Structure 1
Amino acid sequence: MLSEETLRGIIVPVVTPLNREGKLDTQSFHNLISRLKNTGIHGLIVNASLGEGSTPGDNDIELMIDIAKTLVEDKSIIVEIGFDHTLGALKRTVRAKWLGADAVLISPPFYKRYSQEEIINQFYRLTETNLPIILLDILNRKRKPMDLTAVKTVVNMDHVIGLVEGTNDIKRLFNLVRDLSKPVLCGVDELLFASLCFGVKGASIASAQLETDDFVKIYNLFREGEFNKSSTLFERLTPLIQFLSSEASSDPLKWLLNQHGYIQTD
């Protein structure tokens, strides 16, 4: 299982390729995992939302976990859990644990309005599963980011091992890196290098499904003190990152993955 000490590096949220019936395209997903497993990434996130228009069913989620666990032995498998209500999130977290997930990535509910205190209580319930939890806080048109106090309260809970900060607020990220004793990861692709300068332990970035080795190099060069080389490489990848971020959905990413022959659907 993942821990505070091992939550670091480049972690890739994998797109969920769907066929025309809205079901998991298992061959394309298999191809993605097979290609990523031979790179220097530190982990994979399956069932990653990435602005998808539809949500995979429980059977497809279980199939993705099984494929990832079968193909990958030396990298952490993290499962993103949808969170509309506490009971549903609890069931999915318990199921992910039973299927062998190394951690779950959970963000506050998008579609229901909860107070900060209610969100804190919901996360406290989820920690009772004893599966490592990573808090994901992102900028979303349906809700505001969590209050900083609430973020710190959740991250400091037992079994919560860190935070993916994806609110696109660099000052907020700096404050969280400074104030939290647990790992903070960058969750905004365009802020990767700046976030490394502020002390994040790694990043969860979907762009790394393309030019994967170069994204890993950016991280490794920075950790080795080769800041100029790391920055130069990041600047070279910036046009790609900006293209992939040009829409709120994962459509540009899926299109490029299709063009490269990595997935069959776009």
Structure 2
Amino acid sequence: MQLLNGSVVALVTPFHGDNDQSVNREKLVELIEFHAISGTVAIVPCGTTGESPTLSDDEWETVVSTTIEAARSTSLKIIPGTGSNSTREAVRRTEQAAKLGADACLVVTPYYNRPSPEGILAHYQELDKVGLPIILYDIPSRTGVELGVELIMALCEKCPSIIGLKASNGNLDQITEIVYRSYQLDRPFSVFSGDDSLTLPILAVGGVGVISVAANVMPSVMNELVASFERRELNQSKFIAQASHGFCRALLKSGSNPAPIKAIMNHLGLNVGGCRLPLSGISNEKMAALLHELQIMTAKLTAPHIPIDDILIKGQKLP
């Protein structure tokens, strides 16, 4: 897979309002079409934001296959989440993703088990045998395990399929070192921000994009943030980062992902349904705070003197 860069959306899984909260395939197709015309370069279905722990095997396959089929006539790359704390299960889903036609996969560090570095290395070596390009997903706040620089480099050396990292540990010193060390590899290696609010700092130390939660409602904003940096229009990228920072931070503070982003999407008329238990909706107080930050961001991004065209949600009602 060629070196990927830009804004990648960590897509929500839309559900119907029935008792089973069944997957809303029609809405899923709508969302993919929305991203295809909004500058998004790739879609991650069935990641954390896609509520992968609550999806059955059949539902996981439905979401991934629907996403791939809907994106077939577009330039979107599809990178399903295939990780698990069971190596056998992670291998099975990675094999299935390859069979369905995915371009790569996002594999979270095995969680809960708290494996040793040796166990993590063996885990990814098994996944490497599948041959599908792998993006590591390091998010210690959820997994209880941090990969660290030395282990990431060892994984890259032992597993040729590993082509990138979604960095969600908030450690800019470590991310900087990973980028620097990756230049010594014999192949391209992409580092993506896993935190929307840290996208610009990570770009500044050599990152190539973001795997974004906020892009579910503002894909053009996140795309322009990365694109303007690549064009070396640094005042533009700095402005967008500063204008969106409060909203991006509020998404993280208002509840467990994806409850806040789904609440905003539903408010804006995207009708993606609620979250499955054990995740619940956010409180009225937190929703009000989120909407306040959205209003502030919207006012800044639509100021007459700002040369950003068509960056907000097309046809959606703002608060």
Question: Does 1:38 find its partner at 2:37?
Answer: yes
Tell me the secondary structure at the aligned position of residue 54 of structure 2.
Answer: coil
Give the superposed CA RMSD.
Answer: 1.7
**What's the CA shift for 1:142?**
4.5
Kindly tell me the number of residue pairs found equivalent between the two proteins.
Answer: 263
Q: Deviations over 1:192-214 (max 9, x none)?
A: 11111111011111111112111
Structure 1 Cα separation of the partners of residues 46 and 121 of structure 2: 23
Q: Which residue of 1 aligns with 2:14?
A: 17
8 Å CA contact 1:37, 1:71 repeated in 2:
no
Counterpart of 1:171, as a letter, is: D
Q: Deviations over 1:63-84 (max 9, x none)?
A: 1122212221311000101312
Counterpart of 1:163, as a letter, is: L
Question: Does 1:145 find its partner at 2:146?
Answer: yes
Moved more, 46-55 or 251-260: 46-55
8 Å CA contact 2:41, 2:76 repeated in 1:
yes
Question: Does 1:219 find its partner at 2:220?
Answer: no
8 Å CA contact 2:68, 2:78 repeated in 1:
yes
Q: Which residue of 1 aligns with 2:133?
A: 132
Q: Deviations over 1:167-193 (max 9, x none)?
A: 111111111111113221111111011
- TM-score, normalised with respect to structure 2: 0.78
Q: Which residue of 1 aligns with 2:5?
A: 8
1:256 equivalent among 253, 264, 277: 264
Listed as ranges, the gaps of 5+ residues in structure 2 are 184-188, 275-319
Moved more, 95-104 or 10-19: 10-19
Q: Which residue of 2 aligns with 1:59?
A: 58
Counterpart of 1:17, as a letter, is: P
Counterpart of 2:56, as a letter, is: G
Counterpart of 1:161, as a letter, is: I
Counterpart of 1:109, as a letter, is: P
Q: Deviations over 1:70-114 (max 9, x none)?
A: 221311000101312111111111111101111110011112121
Q: Deviations over 1:194-252 (max 9, x none)?
A: 11111101111111111211111111111111101110012111222122111232111
Moved more, 92-101 or 82-91: 82-91
Counterpart of 2:13, as a letter, is: T
Q: Which residue of 2 aligns with 1:29?
A: 28
Q: Which residue of 2 aligns with 1:159?
A: 161
Tell me the secondary structure at the aligned position of residue 240 of structure 2.
Answer: helix
Structure 2 Cα separation of the partners of residues 112 and 24 of structure 1: 29
Counterpart of 2:12, as a letter, is: V
Summarize the Cα distance change of 1:255–1:162 in structure 2 as closer, same or farther, 3 Å threshold: same
- TM-score, normalised with respect to structure 1: 0.93
Moved more, 160-169 or 11-20: 11-20
Structure 1 Cα separation of the partners of residues 245 and 216 of structure 2: 14
Summarize the Cα distance change of 1:141–1:187 in structure 2 as closer, same or farther, 3 Å threshold: closer
Q: Deviations over 1:47-72 (max 9, x none)?
A: 01138495211111111122212221
Summarize the Cα distance change of 1:175–1:222 in structure 2 as closer, same or farther, 3 Å threshold: same
Counterpart of 2:273, as a letter, is: T
1:265 equivalent among 249, 273, 284: 273
Question: Does 1:175 find its partner at 2:177?
Answer: yes
Question: In the TM superposition, what are the counterparts of 1:81-160 in structure 2 within 5 Å?
Answer: 81-156=82-157, 157-160=159-162
Counterpart of 1:21, as a letter, is: D
8 Å CA contact 1:29, 1:263 repeated in 2:
no
Structure 2 Cα separation of the partners of residues 213 and 147 of structure 1: 32
Q: Deviations over 1:13-34 (max 9, x none)?
A: 1011234414322233222212
Structure 1 Cα separation of the partners of residues 179 and 136 of structure 2: 14
8 Å CA contact 2:265, 2:271 repeated in 1:
yes
Counterpart of 1:96, as a letter, is: A
Summarize the Cα distance change of 1:109–1:190 in structure 2 as closer, same or farther, 3 Å threshold: same
Tell me the secondary structure at the aligned position of residue 245 of structure 1.
Answer: helix
2:240 equivalent among 233, 242, 266: 233
Tell me the secondary structure at the aligned position of residue 136 of structure 1.
Answer: strand
Which entry has the higher C-alpha Rg, 1 or 2?
2
Moved more, 61-70 or 188-197: 61-70
Listed as ranges, the gaps of 5+ residues in structure 1 are none
Question: Does 1:194 find its partner at 2:201?
Answer: yes
8 Å CA contact 1:162, 1:183 repeated in 2:
yes
8 Å CA contact 2:79, 2:104 repeated in 1:
yes
8 Å CA contact 1:139, 1:168 repeated in 2:
no
